Chain A
Amino acid sequence: MKKVSIILSFTFLIIFLSGCLTTLHPIFAEKDLAYDPKLIGTWNTENEGKNGTVIINNLATENSVALPGNISAIKQQGYFIIYQDKNGKVTDQYIAFLARIGKHLYFDYFPADKKEDRKLDEFFGVHFVRMHTSFRVEILKDGGFELSQLDGSYVKSLIDEKKIRISHETDADDNTVITASTKELQQYLLKYGDEPSAYRSEKTTFKK
């Protein structure tokens, strides 16, 4: 029994689901796309004192990334976004789309494989379901823009307090997984898009 009681939760693989809101479905449909060519380029970013570089390309110009599902059909209106640390190392890559939902612009991010990810065992990798993350985009007067990430803990608190009905599942490790459809997610954004608590407090500023 001693042995048995020692083991605690087995979620050793990090699931980065805390904090930011991740969803199984995208927040946009094709009709919502609001591609803006001015976002293409190399940007210096700042988030709570941390600096980095982000390269934004048109998705159609990226031959190195494998596009999932039917994304090819709308790739002209998409972005390929590469995050680099201060040493120029690629930290994250995303397939992204800019969409107008209500009065706000939002980015929908979907993880794309980094070069080193491609050497991972495919069987092991199939266990990871890629999730969407979303940001409200505010275009600044100086030509830059700011991203405010949707906050997962806010949605969870609304669910826990029974203040919202949004499709979700609770997994075996008691994580809340948002399975809401695109339509449901848009209803959420229309209702809470102006609510400051619906976003994480820190913003990422992009300047050319």
Chain B
Amino acid sequence: MKKLIFIISIVLLVTASSCVTTLQPLVSYNTAIADNRLEGAWEQDGEKYIVQKVFNSDFFKKNQKDLEKSRKENNGQLSEKDKRDSVLFSKSYLIKYSKAGIQYLLFGSLIKLNGRLFMNFKPVDMTEIDTSKAEIEINLSNRLDSYTIARVQFTNNNIMKLDFIDGGYLHDQIKAGRMKIKNETDELYDTFLITASATELQQFLEKYGNDSRFFNKENSVTLNRKS
């Protein structure tokens, strides 16, 4: 099967601060869809991005022993949550890229809503590679990890466009009472987090997922397949 395109880009350096973040994932284990076309290497402006299915990923292979050990410590049993996570991971992807000596790993899951593809992203790992090639894990204290959401559009098999939701526009609409979605806002510290459930997020995107006002140029990235 032909592989599709994907990834994040340097353009996001300009746009990232206006991305909407959500506490809950848009995609759950029973709504995720796999699309093998996503796998491969992608590039934009000299930046390389590797997309692998979770179970085929280098990260999974590297951590497999620890994961098995952890399972054995639990008498080989998986909790219901672990079982659901396993189903989700079997249809999800890891996205690896490096910038300025730091290697980043994102977790991504796809969903189709009203015939349109959406993907949500969550951070997994951040590692600094020092001069001796040693890996140093970077941890940021007192932060909560959240999700970003992008609409995914394929022009052809080698070009993909990611449109991230414009947080500024959404915030303004919510503040003006023109749109409703569960959120937490703190004006003093400029905190804005969507706290809607996965189902509410899906319903919201079914309603507004084709509204061009949500996806302005500054929040869009076009990516090209490398291999």
**Residues of A at under 8 Å CB distance from B?**
3-17, 22, 24-26, 68-71, 92, 109-111, 117, 119-133, 169, 171-172, 174, 177, 179
Q: Which of B10-40 contact A (CB under 8 A)?
A: 12-13, 15-17, 19, 21, 23-25
> Are A172 and B126 touching (Cβ within 8 A)?
no
> Are B126 and A13 touching (Cβ within 8 A)?
yes
Across the interface, A121 reaches (CB within 8 A) one of B104, B107, B189, B193, namely B104
User: Beyond A13-B145, A70-B188, A130-B143, is A124–B85 a contact (Cβ under 8 Å)?
Assistant: no
User: Beyond A8-B71, A70-B187, A177-B144, is A14–B139 a contact (Cβ under 8 Å)?
Assistant: yes
User: What class of interface size applies to chain B in its complex with A?
Assistant: 35 or more
> Are B125 and A123 touching (Cβ within 8 A)?
no
B174 within 8 A of A: no
Specify which chain A residues have a CB less than 8 angstroms from the CB of B104 in the assembled complex: 121, 124
CA distance A128 to B17 in the complex (A): 11
CA distance A13 to B126 in the complex (A): 8
Across the interface, A174 reaches (CB within 8 A) one of B15, B54, B81, B89, namely B81
> Are B8 and A117 touching (Cβ within 8 A)?
no
Specify which chain A residues have a CB less than 8 angstroms from the CB of B67 in the assembled complex: 6-8
Name which residue of chain B comes closest to A73, CB basis: B188
Specify which chain A residues have a CB less than 8 angstroms from the CB of B188 in the assembled complex: 26, 69-71
B172 within 8 A of A: no
Specify which chain A residues have a CB less than 8 angstroms from the CB of B154 in the assembled complex: none
> Are B21 and A13 touching (Cβ within 8 A)?
no
Closest 4 pairs (CB-CB, A-B): A69-B190, A123-B12, A128-B143, A122-B16
What are some 15 contacts across the A-B interface (CB < 8 A)? A3-B55, A5-B86, A6-B64, A13-B124, A15-B145, A25-B191, A26-B186, A69-B188, A123-B16, A124-B104, A126-B17, A171-B24, A172-B24, A172-B25, A179-B195
**Distance between A108 CB and nearest chain B CB, rounded to angstroms:** 10
